[in-house]
Each structure stands twice: as structure tokens, then as C-alpha cells.
Structure 1
Amino acid sequence: MTNHYYSENPDTAHDLEQWSFELAGKNFHFVTDSGVFSRQTVDYGSRVLIEHFDGENLPEGVILDVGCGYGPIGLALAYATGRFVEMIDVNNRAIELAKSNAKHNDIEQVDIHSSDIYSDLHQTAYAAIVTNPPIRAGKQVVHQILSDAAPLLKTGGSLTVVIQKKQGAPSAKKRMEEVFGNAEIVAKDKGYYILRSIKE
């Protein structure tokens, strides 16, 4: 059975839900389905990441949302920053939902497509990479997302990650320090850490 939200094609029966949630000052209308992450509400970690994402001093260019799910982070940041956001996920069901949610919320500056981590990107360099990584896919996958982000960022670009302390925030921070030479805890909220590294 491939029923995990990090499966390419979840085989759970469809069970569509519709609801609204305010992110970045906009009331978003989401449609979600079985087989995707946090389908009944925008998960708390994603909310904290959106709230603490700093787009002020970034270089020009595109934001990459890794593991976008049905779209809350990428769509909210596209709206909040006015930047183009490329949104990727391995889960094809999530990708279709994200495309539909972009359309229903009139968010046009997005490129939403399937990619297993960074295997199929549409840009060569990004102003920022954001991720609420798939913890249940395992530490190796999470750390690959962190490690392989550095070469994809422009100088001055940032990697922003949300991860729970109990699910590996300290080791993620250490990995980011090894890769980037810096890693800051931007926020702590209900056990969720927002970690940010800058490519110098």
C-alpha cells in the first residue's frame, strides 16, 4: 500500500474536503483529499513558517517550496511577497490539489509540478528555499533536502525550514550549520523551530 503523503501515487480512496483558512492576511479556500499531509487544516508548523519567513533582503528571483503538499506555504508566500514561487512535491495527488487551489485563490505566479526532492527543477538558482519537510519519510530524506539546497541558492539566498524539536530540529540545525556555515533559530513556537541558513 502506498498511502503515505510522501508516496508518489497514494491509493487511498478520494475523500475531498473544502475549508477556508487565513494566511498572510488573505482568506484562502482550500480543497484537500485523503493521501495528503494535514488535510483538515493548515498544520501549525506551516503557519509558523509563513509567519516568520523573511523576504526582505533576498536576492531577486524565485522561491522554491519543497514538499508543497496541497499548497498552503507556497501560495501564501506568493501572495505575501509578490514573488514567483515554484512548488514541488513527490505526491501527484497533492500536486493536482495545489494547482487547483492556486487557481481558486487567484494566485497566478506559481509553477507547480512533480519532483522527487530536487530531481526535476525548472530553475537553476533560487532566491529562497522553504520546506516543511516530510519527517515520516525519514531523516535521510530530510537531511538531503537540507544538504542539497545550498548549491541551488543564489548568494544571499536563504533556506527556511520548520521542524519540531522532538522530530529532529537540533540535528537539522547542526546539518544546516555544516552545509552553510550558519544556522539561526528564527522562532520557537509550541515545539516547532523555524531554522534559517543564508548562503554567503
Structure 2
Amino acid sequence: MNNHYYTENPDLAHDLEQWSFELRGKKFQFLTDSGVFSRNTVDFGSRVLIDAFDWEELPEGKLLDVGCGYGPIGLSLASLSGRPVEMIDVNQRAVALAQENAKKNHVENVDIHTSNIYADVHEKEYAAIISNPPIRAGKKVVHEILSEAYPRLLVGGTLTVVIQKKQGAPSAEKKMAEVFGNVEIVTKDKGYYILKSVKEA
């Protein structure tokens, strides 16, 4: 039974829901469904990541939201920053919802499509990669998101992720330090860590 949010085709019956949520002072409408992560509200980790993410100092270029789900991180950052954002997820149902939510919120500076981690991304390099990684898909997948981000960032670009302490934040922090040579805990809130690494020249 493929009913996990990190599989390609959750075969659960559809059960659509619509609700609104305010992110960084702006109200967004979200359509969600069974078989996607955190369908009833924007999960706390994503909220902390959205609030903590700084796009001001980044080089010119596109942002990449890895594991975008139905779109709260990528759509809010595209809308608020005005930067182009590519949003990817392995879950086709989540991608279809994210595309629908982009229309609902009139966010046009997005490119939303399926990709298993970085397999089918559209750019060679990004100004930033953001992820609320699918912890339940396992440590190997999470660490691949972290380590494979490095070659896909412009110099000065950042990788920013949210991970709960009890779900592996310390090991992710160590991995990012190993890959990038630097890592910062931007913020901690209720056990959620926002970790950021910069690709230095």
C-alpha cells in the first residue's frame, strides 16, 4: 500500500480540504488532500522555516524548494520575495495541489514539477535551496538532500532546512558542516532547528 506522503502515487481516496493560513503577514489559500504531508494546517516546522528564511543577502537566481508538498514554503517565499522559485516533490498528488495552490494565490513566479530529490531539476545552480525534508523517508534520503545541495548552489548561495531535534537535527547539522565547511543554527523553536549552510567561494 503506497499511502505515504513521500511516495510517488499515494493510492488513498481523495478527500479535498480548503483553508487559509497567514504566513509572514500574508494570507494564503491552500487546497490539500489525503496522502500529503500536514494536510490540515501548515506544519509548525515549515512555519518556522518560512519566518527564518532570509532572501536579502542571496546572489541573483532561483530558489529551489525540495519536497514542496502542497506548496506552503515555496509559494509563500515566491510571493513575498518576488524571486523565481522551483518547487519539486516526488509525490504527484502533492505537486498537482501545489500547482493548483499557485493559481489560487496568483503566484506566477514558480515552476512546480515532480522530481525525486534532484533527479529532474531544471537549473544547474540555485541562489538557495530550502527543504523541510521527508524525515520518514529515512536518513539516507535526508542526507542526500543535504550533501547533493552543495554542487547545485551558486557561490554565496545557501541551504536552509528545518529538522526536529528528536528527528535528527544534530546529525543533519554535522552532515552540513562536513559538506559545506560551515553550519549555523538560525533559530530553534519547540525542538525544531533551522539549519543554514553557505557555499563559500
- Specify the TM-score bucket, using the shorter chain as the normaliser: over 0.9
Separation of aligned partners in 2, 1:48 and 1:28: 16
Separation of aligned partners in 2, 1:122 and 1:159: 17
2:170 is aligned with 1:160: no
- Structure 1 unaligned regions, length at least 5: none
Question: How far apart are residue 80 of structure 1 and its match?
Answer: 1.4
How far does the alpha carbon of each residue in 1:109-130 deviate from its partner, in whole angstroms, 9 at most, with x for none? 0000000000001111100000
Does the residue aligned with 1:29 lie in a helix, a strand or coil? strand
Q: Which residue of 1 aligns with 2:91?
A: 91
Question: How far apart are residue 25 of structure 1 and its match?
Answer: 1.8
Q: Which residue of 2 aligns with 1:3?
A: 3
Separation of aligned partners in 2, 1:26 and 1:101: 15
Separation of aligned partners in 1, 2:23 and 2:111: 20
Question: How far apart are residue 24 of structure 1 and its match?
Answer: 2.1
One-letter amino acid of the counterpart of residue 147, structure 1: S
Separation of aligned partners in 2, 1:183 and 1:40: 32
Q: Which residue of 1 aligns with 2:191?
A: 191
Q: Which residue of 1 aligns with 2:143?
A: 143
Question: How far apart are residue 131 of structure 1 and its match?
Answer: 0.1
How far does the alpha carbon of each residue in 1:67-86 deviate from its partner, in whole angstroms, 9 at most, with x for none? 00000000000011110000
Separation of aligned partners in 2, 1:187 and 1:68: 21
Separation of aligned partners in 2, 1:164 and 1:4: 19
2:12 is aligned with 1:32: no
Separation of aligned partners in 2, 1:118 and 1:11: 24
How far does the alpha carbon of each residue in 1:129-165 deviate from its partner, in whole angstroms, 9 at most, with x for none? 0000000000000000000000000000000000000
Does the residue aligned with 1:54 lie in a helix, a strand or coil? coil
TM-score (norm 2): 0.99
Does the residue aligned with 1:11 lie in a helix, a strand or coil? coil
Following TM superposition, where does structure 1 have runs of at least 4 consecutive aligned residues deviating by more than 3 angstroms?
Answer: none
Separation of aligned partners in 2, 1:54 and 1:196: 10
2:31 is aligned with 1:57: no
One-letter amino acid of the counterpart of residue 125, structure 2: A
Separation of aligned partners in 2, 1:194 and 1:80: 19
Give the total of aligned pairs: 200
Separation of aligned partners in 2, 1:113 and 1:24: 25
